[in-house]
């Protein structure tokens, strides 16, 4: 399947410092990609380059098969963008603002009214067309911001911190909206809030110090990892005895009676259980370790990235 967005070896320097360092990824229709990273990781710089607001130092960006650097206007016609601070005009009504956004996107006058009504329906704004944006709640202002990003029916939509400053109910509503929009488009959800990614995204990427350090489908994170075995023993032996068990590459203590066994890929946990029983160590619990997104994020973003 041809990607809606293809990023190849993208880099950006500021005053000689690499803010984004040789990242590559693709985005396909039906994907909601969570773009994670701590503050200063290079997320906003990457989004500015993809949206055409900042020229890369090196690399290539294709939006819906069109090279952004060679044909910027044509490429950006397939892109919708909601920045962290939505570009709203509070003195306008929702309808006035969305018509203005549609005109900027060069939607023909004959199609403009239909486009406005369509995005209002998609974003839950059907009853808000005559209201001043200044009088809307923060959550509804975010809906208006998303509506302007999709009024021209783009293939790719970038949402930068779309739930920033919202209350819990508004957050749930925006998450549902993002999931719905992601059924037919490619969505990039740029955030540093892990629950946003877990609630709305199908795939996650983590950026750290300008480098892409992790990329995987969220469904894979829920699968048990088969290389680390957790044990709880009522009568534990010396650590060296655990290191000598078949298939164990390294044993470490996580408590007085709890241990983590790092295993060979083809190691059999049943053999470990049999050995524990035979040696009288009295097995209380044994399970494969599961590393969640929070643990992965912490591990990858609190360590130095190799140059």
- Determine the distance from the C-alpha atom of residue 195 to the mean position of all C-alpha atoms in its chain, rounded to a whole number: 10
**In angstroms, how far apart are the furthest CA atoms of the chain?**
82
What token pair was written down for 63?
């939006």
pLDDT of residue 306: 43
pLDDT of residue 304: 57
Going along the chain from its start, the domains and CATH numbers come out as 5-78+154-221 (3.40.50.300), 90-147 (no CATH), 228-289 (3.30.70)
> Residue 188 in 3-state DSSP?
strand
Which of 185, 163, 165 lies closest to 176 in space, CA to CA?
163
- Quick check: 35 and 23 in contact, CB under 8 A? no
pLDDT of residue 240: 94
Residue with tokens 């969305």, as numbered in its chain: 98
pLDDT of residue 116: 98
pLDDT of residue 223: 59
Which of 61, 64, 34, 40 lies closest to 50 in space, CA to CA?
61
Phi, psi of 158 (to 5 degrees): -105, 125
User: How buried is residue 68: exposed, middle or buried, by Cβ count under 10 Å (0-12/13-18/19+)?
Assistant: buried
Chunk the chain into consecutive blocks of 10 residues (it has 307) and report each block's average pLDDT, rounded to whole numbers. 94 93 96 92 92 95 96 96 92 98 96 97 95 95 96 95 88 91 94 87 94 88 71 95 93 92 85 94 89 84 61
Host H or E run for residue 218:
helix 218-221
């Amino acid at each position: 399947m041809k990607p809606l967005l293809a990023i190849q070896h993208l880099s950006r320097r500021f005053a000689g410092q690499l803010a984004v360092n040789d990242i590559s990824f693709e985005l396909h229709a039906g994907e909601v990609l969570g773009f994670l990273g701590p503050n200063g990781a290079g997320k906003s710089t990457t989004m500015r380059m993809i949206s055409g607001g900042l020229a890369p130092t090196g690399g290539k960006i294709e939006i819906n098969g069109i090279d952004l650097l060679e044909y910027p206007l044509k490429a950006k016609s397939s892109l919708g963008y909601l920045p962290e601070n939505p570009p709203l005009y509070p003195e306008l009504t929702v309808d006035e603002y969305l018509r203005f956004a549609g005109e900027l996107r060069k939607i023909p006058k004959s199609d403009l009214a239909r486009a406005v009504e369509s995005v209002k329906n998609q974003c839950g704004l059907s009853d808000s067309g005559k209201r001043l944006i200044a009088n809307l709640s923060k959550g509804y202002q975010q809906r208006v911001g998303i509506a302007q990003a999709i009024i021209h029916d783009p293939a790719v939509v970038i949402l930068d911190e779309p739930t920033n400053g919202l209350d819990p109910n508004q957050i749930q509503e925006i998450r549902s909206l993002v999931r719905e929009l992601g059924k037919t488009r490619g969505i990039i959800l740029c955030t540093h809030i892990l629950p946003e990614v877990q609630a709305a995204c199908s795939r996650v990427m983590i950026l750290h110090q300008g480098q892409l350090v992790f990329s995987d489908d969220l469904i894979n994170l829920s699968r048990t990892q088969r290389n680390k075995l957790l044990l709880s023993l009522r009568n534990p032996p010396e650590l060296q005895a655990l290191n000598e068990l078949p298939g164990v590459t390294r044993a470490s203590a996580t408590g007085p009676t709890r241990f983590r066994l790092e295993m060979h890929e083809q190691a059999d946990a049943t053999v470990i259980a049999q050995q524990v029983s035979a040696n009288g160590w009295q097995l209380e619990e044994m399970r494969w370790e599961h590393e969640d997104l929070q643990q992965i994020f912490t591990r990858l973003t609190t360590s130095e990235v190799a140059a």
